[in-house]
Amino acid sequence: MFTPLEGTRVVDLTSSLAGPYCTELLGALGADVVKVEHPARGDEARAWGPRFFEGGSVMFFAANAGKRSLALDVKAPGGKEALLRLVRRADVFVQSMRPGTAERLGLGPDVLRAENERLVTCSIGAFGGTDGPLSRQAGYDPLMQAAGGIVSVTGEPDRPGVRVGTSLVDLGTGLWAAFGILAALHERGRTGRGRAVDVSLYETTLALLPYQLTATLAGEPPPGRNGTAFPLIAPYQVFATADGELMIAAANDGLFAALCETLDLPELALDPRFATNPDRVARRDELLPLLEPRLREEVSAVWLERLERAGVPAAPVQDLAAVAASEQTRALGILQVLGGFETVAPPLSLDGERVRFSSPPPLLGEHSGEVLAELGYSSAEIEALAAAGITRAR
Confidence (pTM): 0.95
Which of 317, 345, 374 finishes a domain? 317
Residues near 136 by beta carbon (within 8 Å), at least 6 away in sequence: 99, 100
Please give the Cα distance from 249 to 174 (Å, whole number): 30
Alpha helices in the chain (DSSP H): 18-28, 58-61, 77-88, 101-104, 109-115, 141-147, 168-191, 201-207, 210-217, 253-262, 266-270, 277-282, 284-295, 300-310, 320-325, 327-332, 368-374, 379-387
Main-chain dihedrals φ then ψ at residue 382, nearest 5 degrees:
-65, -40
CATH code for position 104 = 3.40.50.10540
What is the helix (H) or strand (E) element at residue 70, kind and residue range? Answer: strand 67-71
- pLDDT for 251 equals 97
Same domain, 36 and 89: yes
Same domain, 19 and 112: yes
76: left (phi over 0), alpha (psi -120 to 50) or beta: beta
Q: How many domains does the chain have?
A: 2
Same domain, 69 and 173: yes
Same domain, 107 and 202: yes
Domain limits for position 106: 9-208+334-387
- pLDDT for 59 equals 94
Same domain, 253 and 381: no
pLDDT tens per residue across all 394 residues of the chain: 779 999 999 999 999 999 999 999 999 999 999 999 999 999 999 999 888 888 899 999 999 999 999 999 999 999 999 999 999 999 999 999 998 999 999 999 999 999 999 999 999 999 987 788 988 888 999 999 999 999 999 999 999 999 999 999 999 999 999 999 999 999 999 999 999 999 999 999 999 999 999 999 999 999 999 999 999 999 999 999 999 999 999 999 999 999 999 999 999 999 999 999 999 999 999 999 999 999 999 999 999 999 999 999 999 999 999 999 999 999 999 999 999 999 999 999 999 999 999 999 999 999 999 999 999 999 999 999 999 999 997 7
Catalytic residues: 170
Which of 317, 352, 373 finishes a domain? 317
Residues near 265 by beta carbon (within 8 Å), at least 6 away in sequence: 290, 291, 294
- pLDDT for 80 equals 97
Same domain, 89 and 170: yes
- pLDDT for 389 equals 96
Which of 269, 284, 317 finishes a domain? 317
**CA Rg, the chain, in Å?**
25
